[in-house]
Chain A
Amino acid sequence: MSMAAQPVLTSNKPVISSRGLTKRFASRVAVNDVDFDIYPGRCFGFVGPNGAGKTTTLRMAMGLTPLSGGTLSVFGLPASENGPAIRARVGIVPQADNLDPDFTVEENLRVYASFFGLSRRQAAPRIESLLKFASLTDRRRDRTDTLSGGMQRRLTIARALINDPELVVLDEPTTGLDPQARHVIWERLTELKVRGKTLLLTTHYMEEAERLCDELLIMDEGRILDQGSPRQLIERHVEPEVIEVRSGGGEALERLAGTTDCRLECMGTCLYCYTREPAQLIAALKDAHGLTFLHRPTNLEDVFLRLTGRELRD
C-alpha cells in the first residue's frame, strides 16, 4: 500500500503495526494486503461499509483469529501467538453488548476483573471509579437487563477499562444508541483520550469518525481506500462546499444539471453539487421554482460516499 500513515506529533513506536495483512475465509478475502500503523495516545478509526473487513482486522490484532498472510504486531508482539499477553493490556468493547445477564452491574465488573487475575481487593477501588465514570453508581445493584441501551453500553466500556488498558478497542461503540446516549459515549471516549489512552475504533458513522478520530483508514471489501486525518481526507477527495438540491420531479434537476459546472452526483431526487465557488449556483437556485436546497461545507460522509459509492451494501 502506498498511502502509509504518517505520524503527526509522535516518534514513538506504533502500538499496532501491520504489513501486507491478509485474511482469507473459505470463499472470500476479508482483509486484503493492508498496511497501517497506530501510534500511542491517538484515536485511530477504521471506517467502511458492512463487510469491509474492520472487525476481522480487530480480531486478528487481538489474537482471536489467525492471519492468512502478512505481519501484524501489537505492543511489538506478533499478534497471532500472543493473544493472552496482548489482551491483558487491551480493553475490548464488542459490537454487541455481551454483559452477563445473571449478574448485577457491580458483579459484572467484579467477575470481569477476576478474568484479568485481579483480586477482589485490587478490583474494589477500580470498580468504584469505573461506576462513576459510567454514571452507574446508583444502579450498581441492578441487573443489567434493567438498564437502557446507553447504560449497557457505558457499562460495557467501563468493563473494558477494568484492567487499566493502554489501548482501548471499540467495535462500533454507538451503533443503535439514541443521540443523547451517543453524545455521552463520545464525551467519555474523549475523556479517555485526554488521559492518554490509545483508542482504536470502527464505525460507519462519519460524524463519529470526524469528531473522535485523529487518523482514519477508509476500508472497503478488505482493502484500504485511503488513510489520513479527517481534514486531509476531505481536502484530498472533495471540493470544500456542496449544495444539495431536492426536487419533486426530475426535469427541474436535469435542467439545473445542464447549466452548472459543479461536480454532480445524483441520488434519487437529490442532486449533490460539489464546488469551490457556490455563489453563482445559489443565486440561480433562489429564483428556481419547485427546488429546495441546502448549502453546507463538505464532510467526511461526502468523502466516504465518493470513495465507496452510493449503492446499498447488504
Chain B
Amino acid sequence: MNLWRIPTARTGALAVWRRNILVWRKLIVPAVLMNFGEPTLYLLGLGFGLGHFVGEMSGMSYLAFLASGIIASSAMTTSSFEGMYSVFTRMVPQKTYEAILATPLEVDDILAGEMLWCATKSVFSGIAILAVAAMLGVVQGWGALWVIPVVFMIGLCFAGPAMIMSALAYNYDFFNYYTVLIITPMFILCGVFYPIDTLPLAMQGFVQFLPLTHAVMLTRSLVVGADLSQPLLHIGVLMLYAVIGYYVAVVLVRRKLRV
C-alpha cells in the first residue's frame, strides 16, 4: 500500500484497454471523421496554400514537410486529450475507476490500460494522416509504415504527462494550463511547421528537451525517407517520458483514489 512502490501492471490492463476500444467503436463515425477531417484540412489548407509561397523546405516539398510533422503533433494531441479529458471523466465524474477498483485490478493496471489506449488512438490518427499524405503523393513508399510503431511510442510518451494532469485536476478548466503552456508551444516550436535550426540558438537547445522535437525527427525521416542521425536518442527520449510519466501518474492517482 506504499504510494511510491514500483508499479506492476498485469494482464488486467488489457481489459481496461478493451473496454475503451468497445466505447470507441460505438462512437466510430465522429471519431473517424475527426481522425481524417482535421489533418486533411491542415494538409490541404497549409500544405497547398502556404506551400505555394514556401516552395521547398529542408529539401522536400512543403506539403511533405508538413505532413510528416503533423503525424507526430497529431499523435501528441490525440494522446494528450484522451489522457486528460477522457481519463478525468472516467476517474472523477463517471466513477469508472471506482467501479474497476472493486475488482482485482489496481491503479497500476488501470493506468497501463489507459496509456495503451491513448497510444492506440494516436495510431488511428497517424494511419489517417498517412493515408491522406499518401494520396497527396508525399509518402516515400511502403517503408513509411514503420511510422506506425513510432506513432504508438509517441502516444505512450504523451499519455503519461496528460494522466498526471488528470490526477492533479479538480475540474476540466485545469487542462487549459497544460494545453496553453505545454501542448501549444510544442506544436509551434518543435519543428512541425519549420525546421528547428531556424530558431535562435538558445531556443534550439531548449527544444531538445521537448519530446515533440524528437517525435517529429523520427516521423519526418520515416514518412519522407530522409536520413536520421541518432534514432536511438530520439526513441530513448520518448520512452523516458513514457516511463517517468506513467510512474508519476500512478503515484498521484493512487493518492487521489485511496482516501
- Hey, which bits of chain A sit against chain B, CB under 8 A? 25, 62-66, 80-81, 83-85, 87-88, 92, 94, 96, 98-103, 107, 111-112, 114-117, 160, 163
A66-B258, A84-B106 given. 7 additional CB < 8 A pairs? Answer: A25-B259, A63-B1, A83-B1, A98-B99, A103-B23, A112-B99, A114-B19
- Hey, which bits of chain B sit against chain A, CB under 8 A? 1, 11-12, 15-16, 18-19, 22-23, 26, 94-96, 98-106, 257-259
Whole-angstrom distance between the Cβ of A21 and the nearest chain B Cβ: 15
CA distance A88 to B105 in the complex (A): 9
A99 CB contacts on chain B under 8 angstroms: 99
B94 touches A114 (CB 8 A): no
A111 touches B1 (CB 8 A): no
Can you report 20 residue pairs joining A to B where beta carbons are below 8 Å apart?
A: A62-B102, A63-B1, A65-B258, A83-B1, A83-B106, A87-B103, A88-B103, A88-B104, A94-B98, A94-B102, A96-B95, A98-B95, A99-B99, A100-B96, A100-B99, A103-B22, A114-B19, A115-B15, A117-B12, A117-B15
Complex: chain B residue closest to A25, CB-CB: B259
Going nearest first, the 5 A-B pairs with the smallest beta carbon separation are: A98-B95, A92-B102, A115-B103, A84-B104, A66-B1
Whole-angstrom distance between the Cβ of B174 and the nearest chain A Cβ: 22
B258 touches A107 (CB 8 A): no
Candidate in A62, A80, A92 with the most chain B CB atoms within 10 angstroms: A92
A112 CB contacts on chain B under 8 angstroms: 99, 103
CA distance A64 to B22 in the complex (A): 27
Of the candidates B23, B99, B105, the one whose C-beta lies within 8 Å of that of A84 is B105
B101 CB contacts on chain A under 8 angstroms: 64
Whole-angstrom distance between the Cβ of A305 and the nearest chain B Cβ: 30
Of the candidates B19, B26, B106, the one whose C-beta lies within 8 Å of that of A111 is B19
B104 touches A114 (CB 8 A): no
CA distance A112 to B95 in the complex (A): 14
B12 CB contacts on chain A under 8 angstroms: 115, 117
A94 CB contacts on chain B under 8 angstroms: 95, 98-99, 102
CA distance A100 to B16 in the complex (A): 13
Whole-angstrom distance between the Cβ of A95 and the nearest chain B Cβ: 10
CA distance A89 to B11 in the complex (A): 18
B104 touches A115 (CB 8 A): yes
A65 CB contacts on chain B under 8 angstroms: 258-259
Known: A88-B104, A98-B94, A112-B99. A64 touches B258 (CB 8 A): yes
B99 CB contacts on chain A under 8 angstroms: 94, 98-100, 112
CA distance A81 to B16 in the complex (A): 23
Complex: chain A residue closest to B257, CB-CB: A64
CA distance A81 to B98 in the complex (A): 19
A117 CB contacts on chain B under 8 angstroms: 11-12, 15, 104
CA distance A112 to B26 in the complex (A): 18
Candidate in B1, B26, B96, B104 with the most chain A CB atoms within 10 angstroms: B104
